[in-house]
Amino acid sequence: MGNHSGIEIGLYTLGDIIADPFTGKTIRAGQRVKEIIEAAKLADEAGLDIFGVGEHHRLDYATSSPPVVLAAIAQKTKRIKLTSATTVLSTVDPVRLFEDFATLDLLSDGRAEIIAGRGAFIESFPLFGYDIDDYDALFSENIDLFLKLNEHERMTWDGQFRSSLRNAEIAPRPFQKKLPVWVGVGGTPGSAVRAGKLGVGMALAILGGDPARFKPLVDIYRKAGIEAGHALEDLKIGVTGHGYLSKTSEQAKEEFYPYYSNYWSVVNRQRGIGGGMMSRADFDQIAAADTALFVGNPQQIVEKILRQYELFGHQRFMAQMDIGGLPFKKVAETIELLATEVAPIVRKATSANNH
């Protein structure tokens, strides 16, 4: 594993279930999950480094249980790392979470990781009996507890939200010495500082706009980490973003636009923000050369990733492409291009100063 030098390149999915804008048909959750497993298998065979599965607790998403989906993927893959993207840490019991991912780690011979976040959607709070007013305090306590579980096989611990642990056995232990943990950060400086202090990786969701605006977050993350006594090489940064590839830039935009527009109109509706479809002119602007939307031909995607690498010096890039009802055939073609035409060039360009 990790046989490539240079930055890691992979994919993640949130498993959204959205009607195809052309046919109006919506695939069933079962088919969606099987296509996610198939996408991970393709990614593994093509030599990508990491595959992530998101968590949402709504009927228009197919993945409310990342460790279960990742366990299925583990059986169909050999090398690719498997991560949640992201686990809503505020509304899950850290002990249960640790046991699930330690089990995944055993099943996959040490390929399990977690990206934990506070969650952009809040339906898991009432679902599992948590108070949204405790949004931040829950996350804080849970990440602290999780990191301790990662260190100790027996735990004595007291907190505010879950019952105390008295010399409790935390089983099973993972295949790796410790499960790699990242914190997903949307754009708040406080979250970046916390990730640095904890010495965990920081996964930045950069879904559009000029990536340079995230540079201050990266700087304060590293600064907080070093001040807390962590080694710079342990302060890993991942960048996640939407992507789509085709042979030509025009074709990529032409093909992706209806799905991307469809995705945002649905997400905005889910969040109670109005707004219909995005105009093609708006889309072209959002997909321009200096933005963080990874849509284009392989050469353009390479340039976008390397521009971000100059800004952040990050260790990992993950693209989300299966959005807005994009048919699986198109997802598969994009995975192939990312793995064969983009990844080798990016790895080569970033390997010199990574090790």
Residue 184 has pLDDT above 60, yes or no: yes
- Which pLDDT belongs to residue 2? 42
Distance between CA atoms of residues 228 and 213, nearest Å: 25
Residue 122 has pLDDT above 60, yes or no: yes
Residue 3 has pLDDT above 70, yes or no: no
Is residue 55 within 8 Å of residue 351, measured between CB atoms?
A: no
Distance between CA atoms of residues 33 and 66, nearest Å: 11
Q: Tens digit of pLDDT for each residue in 151-173?
A: 999 999 999 999 999 999 999 99
Residues in Cβ contact with 353 at an 8 Å cutoff, skipping those fewer than 6 apart: 313
Q: DSSP for 194-245, please give it.
A: HHHHHT-EEEEE--SS-GGGGHHHHHHHHHHHHHTT--GGG--EEEEEEEEE
Q: Tens digit of pLDDT for each residue in 42-92?
A: 999 999 999 999 999 999 999 999 999 999 999 999 999 999 999 999 999
Is residue 4 very low, low, confident or very high in pLDDT (cuts 50, 70, 90)? low
- Which pLDDT belongs to residue 186? 87
| CA separation, residue 302 to residues 272, 283, 337, 339, 345 (Å) | 35, 20, 11, 11, 7
Residue 352 has pLDDT above 80, yes or no: no
- Which pLDDT belongs to residue 1? 38
| CATH superfamily, region 8-351 | Luciferase-like domain (3.20.20.30)
Provide the 10 A C-beta neighbour count for residue 104: 26
Q: Tens digit of pLDDT for each residue in 95-110?
A: 999 999 999 999 999 9
Q: Tens digit of pLDDT for each residue in 316-328?
A: 999 999 999 999 9
Residue 237 has pLDDT above 90, yes or no: yes
Read off the pTM. Answer: 0.96
Question: In whole numbers, what is the pLDDT of the chain averaged over residues?
Answer: 95
Q: Tens digit of pLDDT for each residue in 195-231?
A: 999 999 999 999 989 999 999 999 999 999 999 999 9
Is residue 118 very low, low, confident or very high in pLDDT (cuts 50, 70, 90)? confident
Distance between CA atoms of residues 107 and 102, nearest Å: 9
CA 336 to chain centre: 19
